Amino acid sequence: MLFSKVVFLDAKDHAHLRWQCLNSQCLSSCCFIPDRTFIVLEEIYRLSKHFPVVITVEVDEQQREERLLCAYLRLKEDKRGCLYLKDGVGCAIEEEKPYTCRQYPFLIEGGYLAFDLTCPGFSESQGTPLWEGQTINPHLEERFFTYSLKLQEGKAQTQDFINTLFDLNLIVGARLTYENIEVSFNMVEEERLIDLPKDVLRELSSKGYLRAIFAHLNSLQNWEKLIKRCIT
């Protein structure tokens, strides 16, 4: 499982450690494993062009509920990985892919820099060194940890956005059937949105939430792309 062996970066313990993406030689590709990934609000406008973006409610072992804004990368039935994973190319939307993809296998855990040792790209012989003396390699910091910070910084606003939608009773369960394949998801009900008082709509607009809602609704057409790929 991804993130099952997360360790904190240490200049002494990992002084000689290097990393490189193994691409097609990867034995446990992070592009093949998840069917969805959580995103933060600022990503919704960019990602709505490529993926269905919906609100997902997950319940952990302690029955605690977590509401997440998620982009679906593929259908579970599709074993070829992410919709935009291309043979011999890798990610076809490299500059527009989710922050979670851009940070991996590095992350910020409890405010500290960390990495996921389940990624087979780590070794002491090949790849980019993690350290330059006592300093994180600036290339890795710019390429990966920048997006970890964006995820951390965007969580509070994203949670407020999701909670606002639930508080206004805008979220409904929906189903879409295409080519005999059915997908279920949560979405904003447009009629309920239209019926909101004008002052509430103005507040949603002032926060940028109205634009985000429209991006979410427009993104739902991307379900067909995921289904078409799954059946071809």
How many angstroms separate the CA atoms of 120 and 105, rounded?
10
pLDDT digits (tens, 9 = 90+) for 142-201: 889 899 999 999 999 999 999 999 999 999 999 999 888 999 999 999 999 999 999 999
Number of domains in the chain: 1
Q: What's the whole-model pTM score?
A: 0.89
Q: Is residue 212 part of a domain?
A: yes
Residue 184 lies in a domain: yes
**Number of other CB atoms surrounding residue 46 within 10 Å:** 17
Residue 1 lies in a domain: no
Does residue 13 lie within any of the structural domains? yes
Domain membership of residue 139 (yes or no) is yes
- What domain range includes position 187? 6-231
User: 102-154: per-residue pLDDT in tens?
Assistant: 999 999 888 888 999 989 999 999 999 999 988 999 988 888 989 999 999 99
Indicate whether 95 belongs to any domain: yes
Residues 147 and 103 sit within 8 Å (Cβ to Cβ) = yes
